[in-house]
Amino acid sequence: MHFELSEEQKMIRQAARDFAQTELKPGVIERDEHQKFPAEQIKKLGELGFMGMMVSPEYGGSGMDAISYSLVMEELSKVDASASVVVSVNNSLVCYGLEKYGNEEQKQKYLIPLATGEVIGAFCLSEPEAGSDATSQRTTAIDMGDHYLLNGTKNWITNGSTASTYIVMAQTDASKKHHGINALIVEKGMEGFTIGPKENKMGIRGSDTHSLMFTDVKVPKANRIGEEGFGFKFAMATLEGGRIGIASQALGIAAGAYELSVQYAKERQAFGKTLADLQAIQFKLADMATEIDAARLLCHRAAWLKDNGQLYAQAASMAKLFASETAMRTTVEAVQIHGGYGYVKEYHVERLMRDAKITQIYEGTSEIQRIVISRGVLK
């Protein structure tokens, strides 16, 4: 077994670490408070090649591996999970899906600007009554010959108002159940496509989350990804890779809170010594470090399996389940270690605690990950 990162992977990690400190950290508290989208930062991430990390250079991407992607997600998320979710959705749910399953025309038209970071993408699966139960799509895409007529509502869509390209799952033939679902590329500005108000969220407040409404939107047949009825499999297959991204985001949130806690414990004096001299704090830090290490190993294993063309659905779900629960536990402990300072915004850990929660919910709740894992275990 080989646990060392390559020199290239270390350089990519360092670039992400530097970017997080110099570009994301200043202003992260204000962006969270005012729900301000990190537009300038995302533009710069595009210039660094982080918006289409795993896309081939032929289509404007950086041609990096999934381990590098996990490293970048971890480093960005240590500081700003609102920015890193934009990176994650664009990379794993939009670019990956288009490169793997889109046709040449779709790649030329849509993938290149997404991979270069010129535009942002969104992945639209969840509905008011179809979150975890993703097969129950109520949005319809009726076949009208040369186009589909799209009607329905999507909920909690990351990059809802800032995206230009949306991949929308919709039911074309309900009698075929999930085999009747299509994945359609919808452009912002298509007639009948409206964006609902921004959600006022607990965490990742800098990212823009919206509901989307489609009323008789004419989507050309050329915008369907894959064969007729491939949409549900498209969504599930792209979510597999997405779960590596969100697992790495959760890992980063945990690692960020842990690093702040170590630093604080070394500086803060109590009872005539530093917090770091107290065994109660030492044990907390030891547990945090152990869980974070385990989460990182799970993330890298899932990414390695993906890079090596092996099945990785179960590994990705294990990584997401464990890393997101680690993020929650670690950030709660980080606030505890910081005491009263942990409860105010300047010390960052309360934001990380709020941000951690969503990692147990989006791209499949912890319960969904357990379904995927147990199916693998019991098959």
| Contact residues: ligand CAA, CB under 6 A | 89, 93, 123, 125-126, 132, 134-135, 158, 178, 232-233, 236-237, 239-240, 313, 362-364, 368, 371-372
Residues 6 or more apart whose Cβ sits within 8 Å of residue 339: none
Rounded to whole angstroms, the Cα distance separating 250 from 84 reads 10
For residue 218, give the DSSP letter.
E
Residue closer to ligand CAA by CB (options 240, 291) is 240
Residue type, 150: L
SS3 at position 275 = helix
CB of residue 237 to ligand CAA, shortest distance in Å: 4
Residue with tokens 């992977």: 9
CB of residue 313 to ligand CAA, shortest distance in Å: 5
CB of residue 328 to ligand CAA, shortest distance in Å: 17
CB of residue 255 to ligand CAA, shortest distance in Å: 20
CB of residue 239 to ligand CAA, shortest distance in Å: 5
363 assigned to active site: yes
Residue closer to ligand CAA by CB (options 126, 360) is 126
From residue 184, how far is each of 80, 89, 140, 163 by CA, in Å? 31, 16, 11, 15
DSSP letters for 293-350: HHHHHHHHHHHHHHHTT---HHHHHHHHHHHHHHHHHHHHHHHHHHGGGGGSGGGSHH
Residue closer to ligand CAA by CB (options 345, 375) is 375
Residue closer to ligand CAA by CB (options 313, 328) is 313
Residue closer to ligand CAA by CB (options 67, 125) is 125
SS3 at position 39 = helix
Residue closer to ligand CAA by CB (options 201, 296) is 201
Residue pair 285/258 in contact by the 8 Å Cβ criterion: yes
CB of residue 209 to ligand CAA, shortest distance in Å: 8
Q: In terms of DSSP H, where are the helices of the chain?
A: 7-19, 28-34, 39-47, 66-79, 81-88, 96-101, 104-106, 112-115, 231-267, 279-307, 313-338, 349-358, 366-378
Catalytic residue among 30, 350, 363, 367: 363
Residue closer to ligand CAA by CB (options 235, 295) is 235
For residue 80, give the DSSP letter.
-
In sign, the C-alpha dihedral spanning 276, 277, 281, 287 is positive
| Stretch (H or E) spanning 171 | strand 165-171
Residue type, 30: E
CB of residue 317 to ligand CAA, shortest distance in Å: 9
Residue 246 structure tokens: 């969100």
Kindly list the catalytic residues.
Answer: 363
